[in-house]
Amino acid sequence: MSLSVIIAAGGTGGHMIPAHALSEELLRRGHRVTLLSDARGLRFPGLFEGADRHVLDSATASGANPIAWLKAALAVRKGRTEGRRIAREAGANAVVGFGGYPSLPGLLAGISLGLPSLIHEQNAVLGRVNRQLQGRVSAIALTYADTARLQPANKARATRTGNPVRTAILAARDVPYAAPEGDEPMRLLVVGGSQGARILGRLVPEAVAQLPDALRSRVKVAQQCRSEDLSAVAAAYSAAGVDADCQTYMADLPERLAAAHLVISRAGASTMAELMAMGRPAILIPFAAATDDHQTANAAGYVAAGAGLMLPEAEATPSKLAGSLLGFLKSPEALAAAAASARALGVPDAAVRLADLVEHEVRALARPDANREAA
């Protein structure tokens, strides 16, 4: 039976990429997909092709300003009303939310219509929207078996599916990891989002410059930079005599990840899922200001398994990072062992597991009045 599935996702890559991966799997199975997000979510190139896409009104507020909270509530209410109309027109059978405040009106629309409803949590700490709705949905899909802020009463409805990754990552998953031997080049990949690229752009070139000459001459860097930092980062590597390819956007990131011997990055949900699916060692510098410090929680199991190292942002100095780099780069055995540990943590079929859960919930909870308002 062909289903019509509403996907509600916040407009950041951490929400949109796994939502897109589920969309790909649902479309492959012959289902129809409708995306509800904000304007940011529709700007990602190559995502949700073949799906209907809509922008819903939404907003978030913090602090004690009552006017801001009222405006946010009115925006969510308006978005919910529009989401109900879209869901009815699509003949929706289920709604799946991926967190982020733009997912709230779409999820509320589906819940109010009595549709089977699921939330997916990408991080090791339940996010604000998912935390708010965890008691009102049919099923909860988790990336991590131990997810903080999941209420005990809701654990029976929780299933660990893992975090879906892009098909391009899965296609490159079978590229074998080969640690550099002898005088072979050492390929270092440095990636960071809008919050991550600034500190990495300052920190990593200085750390690489401190490596012993024999090692530094072998390092080949590919680094994602903010546009305003691009020339300065490239100049820093050039001054250190390091071969570096600095770009603001890497369209071929899956291929670069497959080729990397070591990754330096933040510990966002999609980054962690891709590192584990691909099986690549990393030095992680969690974003200290992340809500509930969820990036540190994301990195904890990876580091405990021996897949990499974690350097807290408050302690992230060029000399400490250089020491961590040196420990890995002078030991091919350590790199290979960390890569194997990372791969063992991966859930490459996460999109399949999540699509299976969606279909299961429709079968279990769909009823003749599924598209009527819930009592």
Question: Distances from the Cα of 217 to the Cαs of 69, 194, 202, 334, in angstroms?
Answer: 55, 29, 20, 20
Supply the pLDDT for residue 194: 52
Supply the pLDDT for residue 291: 87
Q: Measured on CA atoms in the order 49, 36, 5, 97, is the torsion positive or negative?
A: positive
Q: What mean pLDDT is predicted for residues 70-84?
A: 92
Residues 203 and 261 in one domain: yes
Q: What mean pLDDT is predicted for residues 179-186?
A: 93
Residues 204 and 79 in one domain: no
Supply the pLDDT for residue 105: 96
Q: What mean pLDDT is predicted for residues 104-126?
A: 97
Residues 117 and 130 in one domain: yes
Average pLDDT, the chain: 93
d(CA 226, CA 230): 6
Least confident span in 41-45, 66-70, 180-184, 237-241: 66-70
From the list 329, 324, 187, the residue with the least C-alpha distance to 260 is: 187
The tally of domains found in the chain comes to 2
| Prediction pTM value | 0.91
How does residue 370 score in pLDDT terms, banded at 50, 70 and 90?
A: very low
Is residue 374 a part of any domain in this protein?
A: no
Supply the pLDDT for residue 172: 87
Range of the domain at 222: 170-344
pLDDT tens digit string along 123-145? 999 999 999 999 999 999 999 99
Is residue 75 a part of any domain in this protein?
A: yes
Q: What is the CATH number of the domain that holds 54?
A: 3.40.50.2000
Are 354 and 290 within 8 A, CB to CB?
no
How does residue 197 score in pLDDT terms, banded at 50, 70 and 90?
A: confident
Query: Amino acid letter at 88?
Result: R
Supply the pLDDT for residue 193: 64
* Residue 65 token pair: 């300003």
Helices (H), the chain: 13-28, 66-90, 104-112, 128-133, 167-171, 196-209, 213-216, 230-239, 253-259, 269-278, 294-304, 318-329, 332-344, 350-365
Q: What mean pLDDT is predicted for residues 6-35?
A: 95
CA 348 to chain centroid, in Å, comes to: 14
Is residue 144 a part of any domain in this protein?
A: yes
Is residue 373 a part of any domain in this protein?
A: no
* Residue 152 token pair: 């005990």
Residues 158 and 255 in one domain: no
How does residue 366 score in pLDDT terms, banded at 50, 70 and 90?
A: low
Q: Which residue has the higher pLDDT, 25 or 196?
A: 25
Residues 204 and 218 in one domain: yes
Q: Above 60 in pLDDT, residue 369?
A: no
d(CA 255, CA 260): 9
Is residue 111 a part of any domain in this protein?
A: yes
pLDDT tens digit string along 273-321? 999 999 999 999 999 988 899 999 999 999 999 999 999 999 999 999 9
Is residue 216 a part of any domain in this protein?
A: yes
> What percent of the chain shows pLDDT beyond 90?
81
Residues 161 and 183 in one domain: no
Residues 217 and 109 in one domain: no
Supply the pLDDT for residue 196: 55
Is residue 371 a part of any domain in this protein?
A: no
DSSP states along 62-131? -SS-HHHHHHHHHHHHHHHHHHHHHHHHHT-SEEEE--SGGGHHHHHHHHHTT--EEEEE-SSB--HHHH
